[in-house]
């Protein structure tokens, strides 16, 4: 396992890390095993819940006093969205907490999805295989968009789609997700998304169900050519 404070390797179960002398477990309960993804503010880890050995995905966002409200508010909002979702291809929320062990951090714990994200896939797909993959994403979007009001993911990109070895596709990372409003009211304060996969209206902070559908089309083009849409247009 890795110390949550200094990320040095430590033996399972020590009270204090021999390198930094902090408690190595997140909230005294979760052992970090390996990084799954790195974001602008924090890291998502493969972690082990010590009480029962269950492996989970743990999003860990260290917080400073000056940014405490924005970090906590953003993760709390993501937790509330996930708690309201019930779909076999969306990881289930297990816990959301604020901890001071080993340092102040906002933490989101979800079901771990073992597999490979689309961005890591190296082999080329046939048209039929690419269409099958995107069709599975459209099924998830149909569920999200059927909510009242519709829930828009806003960051449909290869890194947020994980394919299990049996072919099942999971949509992860709902930090950008937002409920759509009437077009006249649907102006968010920030532009969120991944360049090459985000719809033009996202530059204005607008997000509607059509926004995700546009991104799904970009995913199909990317699966077929391994080139983001904006790179194709520049050629």
Q: Looking at 173, 185, 212, 234, which residue is catalytic?
A: 173
Q: Find all residues with CB under 8 Å of 80, minimum gap 6, and list them.
A: none
With contact defined as beta carbons under 8 Å apart, do 231 and 196 qualify?
yes
Residues in the chain, total: 235
Return the closest-CA partner of residue 159 out of 205, 194, 200, 198. Answer: 194
Q: How far apart are CA 61 and CA 98, in angstroms?
A: 10
Return the axis-axis angle of helices 127-145 and 209-225, rounded to nearest 10°. 160
Question: Is there a catalytic annotation at residue 27?
Answer: no
- Annotated catalytic residues are 173
């Amino acid at each position: 396992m890795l110390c949550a404070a200094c990320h040095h390797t430590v033996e399972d179960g020590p009270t204090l890390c021999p390198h930094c002398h902090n408690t190595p477990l997140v909230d005294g309960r979760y052992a970090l095993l390996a990084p799954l993804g790195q974001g602008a503010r924090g890291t998502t880890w493969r972690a082990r819940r010590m009480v029962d050995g269950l492996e989970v995905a743990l999003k860990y966002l260290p917080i400073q006093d000056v940014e405490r409200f924005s970090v906590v508010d953003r993760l709390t909002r993501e937790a509330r969205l996930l708690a309201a979702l019930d779909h076999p291809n969306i990881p289930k929320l297990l816990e959301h907490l604020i901890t001071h062990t080993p340092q102040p951090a906002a933490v989101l714990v979800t079901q771990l999805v073992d597999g490979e994200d689309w961005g890591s896939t190296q082999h080329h797909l046939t048209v039929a295989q690419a269409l099958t993959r995107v069709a599975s994403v459209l099924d998830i979007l149909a569920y999200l968009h059927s909510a009242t009001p519709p829930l828009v993911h806003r960051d449909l990109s290869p890194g947020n789609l994980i394919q299990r070895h049996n072919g099942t596709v999971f949509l992860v990372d709902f930090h950008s997700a937002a409920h759509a409003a009437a077009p006249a009211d649907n102006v968010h304060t920030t532009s969120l998304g991944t360049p090459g996969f985000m719809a033009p209206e996202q530059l204005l902070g607008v997000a509607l169900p059509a926004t995700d559908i546009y991104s799904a089309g970009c995913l199909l083009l990317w699966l077929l050519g391994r080139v983001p849409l904006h790179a194709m247009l520049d050629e």
